[in-house]
């Protein structure tokens, strides 16, 4: 499990982190603790961080990111970790994302402990009083003045992480003003719900993975045929184009020839009809003529009139006055 505990100084992140370490067997990675150790050991980082920490400011991003990158590499962090006091700025959160991604890891949740600043100041004052009464050394930055400065830098630089992780759907906000046990119980509920949904979504994830694998293999075989998931590949598109280019060149030619032949056939079929009609007309004319000729010829043969005499007779008749009286 990989968690981030987010909240202003004095919100109880350290206390809750220790409890989670016991329950889940994961390590607590506190940049504050590491920096304090470095200050104590007077390492170059410690010397650099000492004054900044004492004033309540933030140690440069690259310093803390470097510390976390090294710490995550250690074997005890392989099982999971709780980040306490890191990230404190958006660039630190982005660096953490890159770091985890490069290792193929992901965050499970970011738990924000929301507290009331006035109550927080009273808490810090009580703690200082208790430590002093027990004879313990009080942290240099554990004064109301420094706490005000730390709260200021929290609001300005760390609070934007609430939106940052909310957008990534990683954020769970818990009321940090409740009693320690109640806060613990609330965190437990969040983590239980998280593991339940992870379990429930396991078969769904497997199903999705199977579908994705099937799609992939279908796409692969499709690729072999020139098709990928319904999309025509460049190769297939090229060959399809080539086919399209070839076909019209052949088919229209054939079609044109056929069309021409069909036209001819139609014409040849229509033409005889026309001819027949024409020839029928002329044949009728010829027949009429022939009939006329033959009747004249027949009457001539009977000693009758020829066509010319018939004409002459008709003329004469026309000249002769019509009979007024009946033949006797
Ligand atoms: P903490 O114990 O987490 O409150 O941290 C104590 C001090 O260490 C802070 O006030 C900072 O000066 C410094 N510090 C711890 N963590 C970070 C961080 N992630 N980025 C910058 N400074 C940090």
Which pLDDT value is given to residue 19? 94
Q: Is the pLDDT of residue 85 over 90?
A: yes
Is CATH 1.10.1060.10 correct for 2-177?
A: no
The protein residue whose alpha carbon is closest to atom 5 in ligand 1 is 32
Omega of the bond leading into 92 within 30 degrees of 0 (cis) = no
Enter the pTM of the model.
Answer: 0.63
Other C-beta atoms lying within 10 Å of the C-beta of residue 121? 15
Give catalytic status of residue 88 as yes or no. Answer: yes
Torsions phi, psi of 12, nearest 5? 100, 20
**If you measure from the C-alpha of residue 140 to the centroid of ligand 1, how many angstroms do you get, rounded to a whole number?**
13
**If you measure from the C-alpha of residue 15 to the centroid of ligand 1, how many angstroms do you get, rounded to a whole number?**
16
* Interval 253-283: pLDDT, tens: 444 445 454 444 444 333 444 444 555 566 5
Query: Which residues, at least 6 apart from 16, have a Cβ–Cβ distance to it below 8 Å?
Result: 5, 111, 113, 180, 183, 184, 187
Contact at 8 Å (CB) between 82 and 16?
no
Q: Which residue has the higher pLDDT, 177 or 307?
A: 177
Residue ranges of domains in the chain = 2-177, 234-274+286-311
- Choose the residue to mutate in 16, 55, 85, 149 for probing ligand 1, maximizing ligand atoms within 8 Å of C-beta: 85
For the chain, where are the alpha helices, taking DSSP H only?
13-24, 31-40, 44-55, 61-73, 90-102, 117-133, 144-153, 160-167, 180-224, 234-301, 307-319
Which pLDDT value is given to residue 225? 43
Contacts by 138-147 with C-beta closer than 8 Å and gap 24+? Answer: 139/36, 140/53, 140/54, 141/53, 141/54, 141/55, 141/56, 146/54, 146/55, 146/56, 147/9, 147/10, 147/56, 147/120, 147/121
Q: Is the pLDDT of residue 232 over 70?
A: no
Other C-beta atoms lying within 10 Å of the C-beta of residue 88? 20
The DSSP string of 208-251 is HHHHHHHHHHHHHHHHHTTEETTEEPHHHHHHHHHHHHHHHHHH
Q: Is the pLDDT of residue 233 over 60?
A: no
**Residue entry with tokens 């043969």:** 301
**DSSP state at residue 328:** -
Q: Report, as an integer, the average pLDDT of 80-91.
A: 97
* Interval 3-19: pLDDT, tens: 999 999 889 999 999 99
Query: Which residues, at least 6 apart from 88, have a Cβ–Cβ distance to it below 8 Å?
Result: 31, 58, 64, 154, 157, 158, 161
* Interval 183-224: pLDDT, tens: 999 999 999 998 888 777 766 667 777 887 888 788 777 644
Q: Is the pLDDT of residue 249 over 80?
A: no
Q: Which residue has the higher pLDDT, 89 or 212?
A: 89
Give catalytic status of residue 150 as yes or no. Answer: yes
Listed range (95-99, 223-227, 319-323) with the worst mean pLDDT: 223-227
State the pLDDT confidence band at 289, using cuts at 50, 70 and 90.
Answer: low
Contact at 8 Å (CB) between 63 and 45?
yes
Contact at 8 Å (CB) between 56 and 45?
no
The finding on whether 36 has its CB within 6 A of some atom of ligand 1 is: no
Contact at 8 Å (CB) between 174 and 7?
no
Which pLDDT value is given to residue 131? 87
State the pLDDT confidence band at 250, using cuts at 50, 70 and 90.
Answer: very low
Which pLDDT value is given to residue 286? 65
What ligand 1 atom has the least distance to the C-alpha of 33?
A: 2
Which pLDDT value is given to residue 1? 92
Q: Please give the radius of gyration of the chain, using alpha carbons only, rounded to the nearest integer.
A: 55
What ligand 1 atom has the least distance to the C-alpha of 141?
A: 10
Residue 258 exposed, middle or buried by CB count within 10 Å (0-12, 13-18, 19+): exposed
**If you measure from the C-alpha of residue 39 to the centroid of ligand 1, how many angstroms do you get, rounded to a whole number?**
12
What ligand 1 atom has the least distance to the C-alpha of 55?
A: 12
Q: Report, as an integer, the average pLDDT of 94-101.
A: 96
Catalytic residue, chosen from 127, 170, 178, 227, is 127
Which pLDDT value is given to residue 142? 77
Grouping H, G, I as helix, E, B as strand and the rest as coil, residue 115 is coil
The finding on whether 165 has its CB within 6 A of some atom of ligand 1 is: no
């Amino acid at each position: 499990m990989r968690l981030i505990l987010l909240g202003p100084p004095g919100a109880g992140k350290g206390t809750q982190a220790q409890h989670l370490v016991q329950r889940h067997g994961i390590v607590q990675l506190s940049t504050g603790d590491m920096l304090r150790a470095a200050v104590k050991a007077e390492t170059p980082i410690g010397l650099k961080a000492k004054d900044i920490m004492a004033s309540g400011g933030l140690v440069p991003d690259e310093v803390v990111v470097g510390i976390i990158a090294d710490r995550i590499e250690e074997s005890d962090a392989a099982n999971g970790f709780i980040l306490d006091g890191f990230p404190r700025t958006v660039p630190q959160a982005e660096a953490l994302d890159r770091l985890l991604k490069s290792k193929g890891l992901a965050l499970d949740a970011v738990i924000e402990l929301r507290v009331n600043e006035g109550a927080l100041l009273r808490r810090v004052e009580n703690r200082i009083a208790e430590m002093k009464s027990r004879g313990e050394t009080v942290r240099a930055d554990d004064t109301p003045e420094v706490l005000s400065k730390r709260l200021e830098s929290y609001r300005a630089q760390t609070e934007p992480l609430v939106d940052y992780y909310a957008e990534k759907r990683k954020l769970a906000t818990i009321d940090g003003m409740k009693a320690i046990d109640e806060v613990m119980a609330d965190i437990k509920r969040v983590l239980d719900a998280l593991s339940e949904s992870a379990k429930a979504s396991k078969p769904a994830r497997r199903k999705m993975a199977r579908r994705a694998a099937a799609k992939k293999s279908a796409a692969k075989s499709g690729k072999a045929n020139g098709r990928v998931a319904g999309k025509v590949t460049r190769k297939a598109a090229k060959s399809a184009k080539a086919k399209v280019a070839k076909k019209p060149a052949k088919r229209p030619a054939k079609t044109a020839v056929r069309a021409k032949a069909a036209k001819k056939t139609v014409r040849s079929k229509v033409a005889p009809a026309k001819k027949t009609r024409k020839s029928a007309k002329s044949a009728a004319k010829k027949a009429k003529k022939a009939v006329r000729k033959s009747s004249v010829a027949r009457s001539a043969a009977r000693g009758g009139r020829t066509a010319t005499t018939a004409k002459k007779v008709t003329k004469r008749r026309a000249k002769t006055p019509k009979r007024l009286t009946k033949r006797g």
